[in-house]
Amino acid sequence: MSKNYWLYSMKRIPILAILIALGTNWLPAAASEVTPIANGYHVVVATFSDKQEKEARLYSESLNKKGFQSGYGLEKGKHFIYVFLQTFDFDNYTAAVKAMTDARQKPEFATAWVVKIKDGREIKEGEPVVLEEVKKNDASPARELTASLVTEYIDNPPMTPITRPQHLGNTPVFLSVFRNRDNKIIAAEVKVFDAEKSKLLTTVKSNCYLNLPDPRTKSGRLSLVASAFGYGDLKMEIGYYTTEQDTIQQNVTLFGSYFQLIFPLQKMDKGQEVTLSKVAFFNDAAIMTPSSTDQLQALLEMLQENPSTKIRLNGYTNSNGRGKIVYAGPSKNFFALSADRIEKTGSAKELSAARAQVIKDWLVSQGIAEARIEVEGWGGTKQLYDKNSPNARKNARVELEVTQ
């Protein structure tokens, strides 16, 4: 057979047949699937769809470069890829929860959670898992472990398919509000404004998953203001339909199926003032209504957590006239018009001072040193609203000022 005939014949043989003849090792490798997530408890920090293996891998690699021991794997039941920091055996549930708690001290992992995986699928807490105990020279039978449900942690959003591009119109947010000093989670209110018109759209709670309203404006910009008692407000602006672009901001992060907006609040500085807007009083009385206790408790906790802080309580009224003033009696019932109450006549300045004083008396009864609290009564000298305004009653108030 001539050389030219052999070459001609080879051209007519399909290339695939040649590769098969030479062995399967010559065939191109098929696209690899994501490895199912291993059995055990995992401290999960992000979720991606099963089509986003590249994104999950890059995110996991970025965590490893920062010194975290990260990995990722496919959850076969819901078809999501979980990126996790650590994995624990089924008998190390307590260790997994502790690792999750430690992870949540870092703002970027404020929503870390624990999932339980068996045979590549997430299973519910309380579902029994059979564990094989193997001891040297001991044929111990298998035992069952039922993990207890931890309820003090934040529920995770429902797992839904991810739409591209992601924005606030199709993706929920987690509003992470914490104390900048030590990353302690803070219960705060977040006001959501139309950034173009400065119009308040809604007020929501912090540290939960939710959907924000569409401003329905040309720019689509929203302004969010996080407020918590004892801390300075923190403002952030974000685009409703351009949210992915806003992840260049330090405090905006996309974690697979949700955006995280970070609000590290600073405690109030010297000279800052805040109105005790939820502390109310009975008419003509220096006695607080029962609804005042929540904000008073927040004030007490602020003073307890900051033992060097000193404050001044400035009392104001809605007018400068004289009239009846009701004081708490010997029973020191700060939240009711008890039978032993004391009634006198006095000026508006005296009433405003008495209202500030009763707040101080309550704080002192809870263990706060008297020397940390000053009291001042100003009567009707600093009106916020016209006396004929529907908001005129808000002129009667007590303001907190940080003096040290």
AA letter at 384: L
Kindly report the backbone phi and psi dihedral angles of residue 40, in degrees, each rounded to the nearest multiple of 5, phi listed first: 125, -175
- Domain hosting residue 344, numbered range: 273-402
Do both 387 and 279 map to the same domain? Answer: yes
Residue 259 sits in a domain whose CATH number is 2.60.40.1120
* Terminal CA-CA length for the chain: 103
pLDDT digits (tens, 9 = 90+) for 384-403: 887 777 777 788 889 988 88
Same domain, residue pair 283 and 381: yes
Angstrom CA distances, 124 to 23, 76, 115, 153, 180, stand at 46, 15, 8, 15, 34
For the chain, the C-alpha Rg in angstroms (whole number) is 31
Distances (CA, A) of 45 to 39, 54, 394: 17, 16, 45
Residues 227 and 248 in one domain: yes
Please report, for the domain that includes residue 298, its CATH number.
3.30.1330.60
Percent of the chain with pLDDT over 70: 82
Which amino acid, residue 235?
K
- H or E element at residue 316: strand 311-316
Rounded mean pLDDT, 250-269? 86
Which residues have a Cβ under 8 Å from the Cβ of 306 and sit 6 or more positions away? 267
pLDDT of 126 reads 52
**Among residues 215, 239, 265, which one ends one of the domains?**
265
Contact, 188 vs 228, CB < 8 A? yes
Number of domains in the chain: 3
**What pTM was estimated for this model as a whole?**
0.53
382: CB partners within 8 A, 6+ apart: 316
- The answer to whether residue 41 scores a pLDDT higher than 50 is yes
Instruction: Render pLDDT for 19-31 as a digit per residue (tens, 0 to 9).
Output: 334 444 433 333 3
Domain stop point among 265, 282, 303: 265
Residue 2 placed within a domain: no
pLDDT-derived band of residue 200, with 50, 70 and 90 as boundaries? very high
> Considering the domain boundaries, does residue 392 fall inside one?
yes
**pLDDT at residue 239 above 90?**
yes
pLDDT tens, 307-337? 888 999 999 988 888 889 999 888 888 888 8
Same domain, 284 and 372: yes
For residues 222 and 261, the answer to whether their CB atoms sit within 8 Å is no
Contact 275, 397 (CB under 8 A): yes
